[in-house]
Amino acid sequence: MNELKDLVVVITGSGKGLGKGDAEICYAEGAMVVTWDRSGLAKGVADSLDPSGKRTLYVRADVREEDQVARAFAEIMKKFGRVDVLVNNAGISRHKPLEEMSLELFEEVMKTNVTGIFLCCRAVAPIMKKQGRGKIVNIASLGGRTGRPGVGVNYAASKAAVIAITQTLARELGPSGIYVNAIAPGPILTEQTRQYPPEVFAKWNAGRAVEKDGLPEDVGASVVFLASKRSDWVTGVTLDLNGGILIR
């Protein structure tokens, strides 16, 4: 425990699902946690973790909007004075077959999943450079590695872009002491995926090497590792968490 003691960890899209799980495990590991979303759900997560608000902060902002991202980081700096870890978790999926997918739907996913990460990374980079240290963890997906059942071209393209952004920024920001890595989860049991019939979830897991289902805490444990000093020689890596689906 206390792998992240006194570190300021910012988690976008942390009102539910993987982001909520990341916030809970980072807080349990001693971090000061900033929850962030555009819906307001993440405020409840912050309040439940620390009703006093001493070790948590909620910011309501849309990662797609440049001015809102700037304001969010200004709020964070006002309260905590630093950002040690940024977890770019905010993302959406809008699955449609190619011929049924509108340009608007394609661009909606790209703007949240790609532009949002770009804006957050660009905003946090000068903060971390001034500190001389920082860690960025981008949440990609198995869908960005390979075509899978139920993965639309918009989502797949956006998550492949997340991996490319991770590799490029690791090179660019590494000399400033900033580590940039990604996590590419396979199917994870969350509030959203539990709404699908079991046979659909099983189809997504085709080729898995182990019986165990992926859970939010599996992703959270990897976030903690990449955010902690234990990963201080790891950068530009995409950690695949999929129960062995990609084994060849």
Where in the sequence numbering do the catalytic residues fall?
A: 155
Question: Please, what is the angle between helix 216-227 and helix 17-28, to 10°?
Answer: 50
Both tokens assigned to 203: 């189809």
Q: What is the DSSP letter of 13?
A: S
Distance CA 77, CA 145 (A): 35
Q: Which of 181, 171, 175, 169 is nearest to 231 (CA)?
A: 181
Both tokens assigned to 192: 């959203």
Strand partners, 175: none
Distance CA 107, CA 154 (A): 8
Q: Residue 139: left if φ>0, alpha if ψ -120 to 50, beta else—which one?
A: beta
Rounded alpha-carbon distances, angstroms, from residue 110 to 143, 167, 220, 237: 14, 18, 24, 22
Bridge-based pairing of strands 238-241 and 134-139 is unpaired
Distance CA 11, CA 22 (A): 8
Distance CA 228, CA 241 (A): 18
